[in-house]
Amino acid sequence: MEKNQLYYGDNLTVLREHIKDESVDLIYLDPPFNSRQDYNVLFAERDGARSASQIMAFEDTWEWNMDAERAYEEIVERGGRVSDAMRAFRTFLGHSDMMAYLAMMAPRLIELHRVLKETGSIYLHCDPTASHYLKMLMDAVFTPQYFRNEITWKRSHAHSDSKQGRKAYGNVADTLLYYAKGDGYVFNTVFVPYEQAYIDKYYRYRDADGRRYWLDNLTGPGGASKGNPLYEVMGVSRYWRYSKVKMSELIAAGRVVQNKPGNVPQYKRYLDEMPGVPLQNIWADIDPINMMAKERLGYPTQKPEVLLERVIRVSSNDGATVLDPFCGCGTAISVAQRLNRRWIGIDITHLAIGLIKTRLADAFGDSVRETYEVIGEPVDLPGAEKLAEEDKYQFQWWALSLAGARPLEKKKGADQGIDGRLYFHDEAKGGETKQIIFSVKAGHLMATHVRDLRGVIEREKAEIGVLISMELPTKPMKREAAEAGFYQPPGTTDKFPRLQILSIAELLEGKKVDYPHYAADATFKKAPKSRKAAEEQIPLGGGEIEEPF
C-alpha cells in the first residue's frame, strides 16, 4: 500500500507538483485568517507550567506586494468565474491586505478543486475576518450549486474584554464553509441527543415502567393523492400512513393508542428508540482546546480532535484519503490516522513538521513512522546546506527536530547562545527536571563555538550541552569537548558526555543525543495515546431518521 505523505513546503507548489487530479476524498483546510497577529507558540515549560515562548510559528499577515500582484494576474488571465470574482473584489478592496490574502487563497482553492474526486467534499475553516469573502471565492471555484452548509462552530463561551472598552458582541464562533465537488458525495448523518426542553415538550407521556413516548400522527400525509390506503382503525376511517397488514402488526405490538373512543388513533413513539436529532449547522457541543486539555501541544492554532473527528466521519468512509494543506501541528492527520483514513499533510514550517512527527509517534507508537513518508525535508548534507542558505530558522527547527529538541528563537538575556532545549528525567517520580541545551551551527565550525557552549552549560547549570554542526569537528575541538567531562545521573554508575558534538551527517544517519532515557522525556507536551473508542457513534449509510417499522 502507498504510504501516507507529509510535505514540507508551500502548498501551492506541492499541490501543483505532487498531487494528482481527482485523488483526494476529503479536504479540510484551516489557513491563516489574515488576523494581523503573529501567533506565538506555547510549549510545556520546564516546571510543567506553560508560558508564551518566543517562537513565531508563522506570520499571519498579508500585504499587497509583487507576489500578490503576480498571483492576482495569474488568476485573472485564466478567465472564468474565479477571474470575475477576483476582478470584482479588486474594484472593492483595491490593494488592501485583504485583497492580498484572497490573491493567495484563490490559486490554492483552484488546485484543491482539481485534486478532489467527483465524490469528494471540502471544509474551509475560517472566521468572520474573511469568511464572507472566502464564501464568494468558494462559490466561484466550487459553484453555488455545491455549497452545502455554512457551519458555525462555537469555539469559546464568552469574551470578557468589555471591561477594556470593547463595544461589540463577543466573537465566539468560527465558520466552516462546506462544499461538495459533485452529486455523489459521502454524507454519513450524525445524530446528537435531543435537548431537554424538546424532550419535555414532546415526549411527555410515560409507560408504567417510566419509558417516555410521544403520540405521533398515523395518518398518511397527502391523503388519497399520495396513494395512502383508506380503511378503518378502532372505529375511525382515515387515509393511513401504513398498509392494513402493517397497521395490524403495530396494534398487536401495543404501539397504537386511542385516547378516547372516536379519537384518531396515534402511534406510540418511544424516546429510547430514536437516534437523536440529525446534527444541524450550529455546533456548540465541541469545546476549544483549553489550557489544561490533554491533547494540547502548544501550537497556537491547534484545533480540537473532536471537531476533526466529526468532519472526517461525516464526509468520508474507511480507507478514504484526507488532505490538509495547512496542517499545522497535524490535528486532521492524527485523527485521520486513528480513523483508518489515508492522509496527506502539507505545512510550510519545519516547526509544524517536527511537531507532527512527535505527535504521531506519541499517539501511535514509533512504528507509525514506517507508514508515512516525509517529503521536502533535507535527506542529505547538500540538502541541509541548501536549507541553511535559504532560511536559517527553518534549518534550526529542522536540525533540532532531528535531535528531538524544541527550538528557542529569541536570543536575549539568559537564553544567549542557546538555540534549543530538551528536558529529561532520570530520577524517581517527583525528581528534578534536567536539561540539555543545544547550539546549532550551520556555518564554519570553530573552536570558540565549543568553548562558548561549555561556558553556557556552566551558566545554565545544564546537565548536557549539544553542538549540532554542519561541519565535522576537528581533533582539538573533540579534545575540548572531552575536557568537559561526564554527567552522572544520581544513584547510577552511568556516564554521559557533558558536551557532545553531533554533525548533521551523523544525525541524518540516525545518531542520537546520548542522555539518560530512564523516564519519558518532558520536552514537548506529549500527544495522548490515541483512543480507540469513538466519541460520536454515527450510523453509517443512514441519512433519514428511520420509520418505526
Ligand X SMILES: C[S@@+](CC[C@H](N)C(=O)[O-])C[C@H]1O[C@@H](n2cnc3c(N)ncnc32)[C@H](O)[C@@H]1O
Q: Cβ(504)–Cβ(455) under 8 Å?
A: no
Q: Cβ(451)–Cβ(366) under 8 Å?
A: no
Distance between CA atoms of 270 and 327, rounded to whole angstroms? 44
Closest CB 333 distance from ligand X, rounded Å = 9
**323 versus 462: smaller Cβ distance to ligand X:** 323
In 481-537, where do the E strands start and end? 486-487, 496-497, 499-503
Instruction: Assign 65 to helix, strand or coil.
Output: coil
**178 versus 203: smaller Cβ distance to ligand X:** 178
**311 versus 445: smaller Cβ distance to ligand X:** 311
DSSP assignment string, 154-182: E--S---GGGGT--S----EEEEEEEESS
Closest CB 93 distance from ligand X, rounded Å = 20
Q: Cβ(408)–Cβ(421) under 8 Å?
A: yes
**331 versus 396: smaller Cβ distance to ligand X:** 331
**221 versus 528: smaller Cβ distance to ligand X:** 528
DSSP tag of 414 = G
**267 versus 326: smaller Cβ distance to ligand X:** 326
Closest CB 430 distance from ligand X, rounded Å = 32
Cβ neighbour number for residue 543 with a 10 Å cutoff: 9
Closest CB 341 distance from ligand X, rounded Å = 16
Closest CB 457 distance from ligand X, rounded Å = 32
**142 versus 326: smaller Cβ distance to ligand X:** 326
Closest CB 32 distance from ligand X, rounded Å = 5
**308 grid coordinates:** 476533526
* Alpha helices, H only, 226-278: 244-252
Beta-carbon contacts of 362 under 8 Å, excluding residues fewer than 6 positions away, are 526, 527, 528, 529
**299 versus 487: smaller Cβ distance to ligand X:** 299
Beta-carbon contacts of 275 under 8 Å, excluding residues fewer than 6 positions away, are 191, 539, 542, 545, 546
Q: What are the φ and ψ backbone dihedral angles of 366, each rounded to 5 degrees? A: -60, -25
**265 versus 325: smaller Cβ distance to ligand X:** 325
Residue at grid coordinates 507529509: 6
Q: Cβ(128)–Cβ(35) under 8 Å?
A: no
Give residue number: closest CB to ligand X.
Answer: 328
Closest CB 20 distance from ligand X, rounded Å = 19
Q: Cβ(357)–Cβ(374) under 8 Å?
A: yes
Distance between CA atoms of 458 and 393, rounded to whole angstroms? 26
Beta bridge partners of 192: 277
Instruction: Assign 390 to helix, strand or coil.
Output: helix
**326 versus 524: smaller Cβ distance to ligand X:** 326
Query: Which of 409, 413, 403 has its CA nearest to residue 523?
Result: 403
Q: How do the residues of the chain divide into helix, strand and coil, expressed in percent and rounded to 5?
A: 35, 25, 40
Closest CB 53 distance from ligand X, rounded Å = 16
- Which residues here bind ligand X, judged by CB under 6 A? 10-11, 30-32, 58, 299, 301-303, 326, 328-329, 331, 346-349, 352
Q: Cβ(141)–Cβ(183) under 8 Å?
A: no
Amino acid at 313: R
Closest CB 330 distance from ligand X, rounded Å = 6
Closest CB 487 distance from ligand X, rounded Å = 35
Distance between CA atoms of 103 and 120, rounded to whole angstroms? 24
Q: Cβ(152)–Cβ(123) under 8 Å?
A: no
Closest CB 253 distance from ligand X, rounded Å = 49
**104 versus 247: smaller Cβ distance to ligand X:** 104
